[in-house]
Amino acid sequence: MKGVGLTICVFAGSMPGAKYDYADAARKLGCALAERGHELVYGGGNVGLMGVIADAVLELDGHVTGVIPDTLVSKEVAHKGLSDLRIVRSMHERKALMAELSDGFIAMPGGIGTMEEFFEVLSWAQLGIHNKPCGLLNVAGYYQPLLQFLDHAVDHGFLKAKHRSLLIVESEPHRLLGRLEQFTKTHAATRFERGRT
């Protein structure tokens, strides 16, 4: 914990998605973070759901740290109004720094990049590299097929039920944040260990 709140890393799409629900949920999550005294760490862009959540936190005077590789500054249009914008050399550095700065993780709807970033931190939780909560904001049932796949992986012996249960899933931002907060109170957090496999 940092101060009175947590620093929550949110992985989200660089596009707004096909439904209004996605941007609306990003706005609500950003407001919920600020209202509950939490800080946001995210990918540093001002486009798509990434931009929506960052703007929502900033509008309520919350603290936002963006982490973006130099090669994506123009492509993802780095957000110029953040509390702290960190430009790094690679995607590897981006993910390591975001994980190091954060007390917990949330994935909003997104594509391949969102999935890759979220599943990396979830696999680190499975391996015991960190003991930080990992949550999915399941907006309008977006993640139902993914959750069914994870249950399928358990059924077929490729994922242990105890590791499947590491994933915290809610459809409403305040409920999801409440569960992440409860997790940090009931689990002794271990320091993120960069480089451990």
Average pLDDT, the chain: 92
Paired with 40 in beta bridges are 8, 64
DSSP H or E segment with residue 68? strand 64-69
pLDDT at 49: 97
Does residue 108 register a pLDDT over 60?
yes
pLDDT at 74: 75
CA 108 to chain centre: 7
Paired with 135 in beta bridges are 106, 168
pLDDT at 76: 64
* pTM, two decimal places: 0.91
Q: Tell me which residue has tokens 């271990």.
A: 190
Does residue 150 register a pLDDT over 90?
yes
Would you say 118 and 11 are in contact if contact means Cβ atoms under 8 Å apart? yes
pLDDT digits (tens, 9 = 90+) for 70-79: 988 877 689 9
Would you say 169 and 144 are in contact if contact means Cβ atoms under 8 Å apart? no
CATH of segment(s) 7-184: 3.40.50.450
The domains of the chain are located at: 7-184
pLDDT digits (tens, 9 = 90+) for 49-70: 999 999 999 999 999 999 999 9
pLDDT digits (tens, 9 = 90+) for 127-145: 999 999 999 999 999 999 9
HSE-up of 181 (CA within 13 Å, CB side)?
Answer: 15
pLDDT at 75: 75
